Amino acid sequence: MRADVIDLRDFYASPLGEAARRQIARHVRALWPDVRGERIVGLGYAGPYLKAFQGEAERVLSVMPPTQGVMRWPETGRNQALMADETELPFPDRSIDRILLVHGLEGLEQTTAAFREIWRVLTDSGRLLVVVPNRRGLWARMERSPFASGRPYSSGQLDALLRANLFAPSVRTATLFTPPTRSAMVQSLGPLIERLGPRWFPGISGVLVSEAVKQIHALPLSREVRRARLRAPVVSLPGLRPGAVAAARRSAPPSRVQPPRPVR
């Protein structure tokens, strides 16, 4: 089960959601410091993290799945959001430079098909950045957290999943060590907890932020090729009508069989 788009919007409009957004956005921007002239697509609910790339990237689009719901993004200016299933992205092959997957992987029902589609639309040097709840963290256990919806992952599970779907993990970081509480005292200690968390208790972060590079040594078939191969082939031989061979055999005179010669 994945979080609803209205619940996600309300979460990021709250002080707790804004604090989480700042921490995650800091890591996303550190991994992608320069995106000039590139095409970026956010899958899931990536709008809060795409703002930093507007005005720098050539194009920024937000793609939201039907099972989650879609809303306008950004709130002002020209709309750059659309609704599409992760397994049927409306982009040509090798047309996207970077894909940011947030609030998406944990709610996928067809994980392999979605990764094949991501692989298809990414350029040969394309990069995928995944933000996913940590299985061992508190954010995957508290109901008030949108990261509690769907399936969380451990770092080993995430790396194995990426490798199995033709992506090579390159860099992984962890963030959201501050518990998902609205306590003013805990939130005031948030910056200190985030600085000490990677050193003192790195395994219990709220989310994992992992970048992966597209592998091209094994090329999966494109969507068009897969569909073409599912259709039954039509075999046509010039000058040969259906049933012509059987009709010719029926009309031919019976052949005479010569008796065998005696062996001397």
Class of domain 5-224: alpha beta
**196-248 confidence digits (pLDDT tens):** 877 888 788 999 999 999 998 655 555 555 555 445 444 443 443 444 444 55
Give long-range contacts, CB 8 A cutoff, 24+ apart: 70-76.
Answer: 70/5, 71/5, 71/9, 73/47, 74/47
Q: Where are the domains of the chain?
A: 5-224
pTM > 0.75: yes
Taking alpha carbons only, the member of 124, 61, 63 closest to residue 88 is: 63
Peptide bond into 74 cis (omega under 30): yes
Q: What DSSP letter does each residue of 144-200 carry, written as one string?
A: TSGGGSS--B-HHHHHHHHHHTTEEEEEEEEE--S-S---HHHHHTHHHHHHHHHHH
Question: Directed axis angle between helix 190-200 and helix 15-31, to 10°?
Answer: 50
**58-114 confidence digits (pLDDT tens):** 999 999 999 999 999 998 889 999 999 999 999 999 999 999 999 999 999 899 999
The model's confidence at residue 254, banded by pLDDT at 50, 70 and 90, is low
3-state DSSP assignment of residue 143: coil
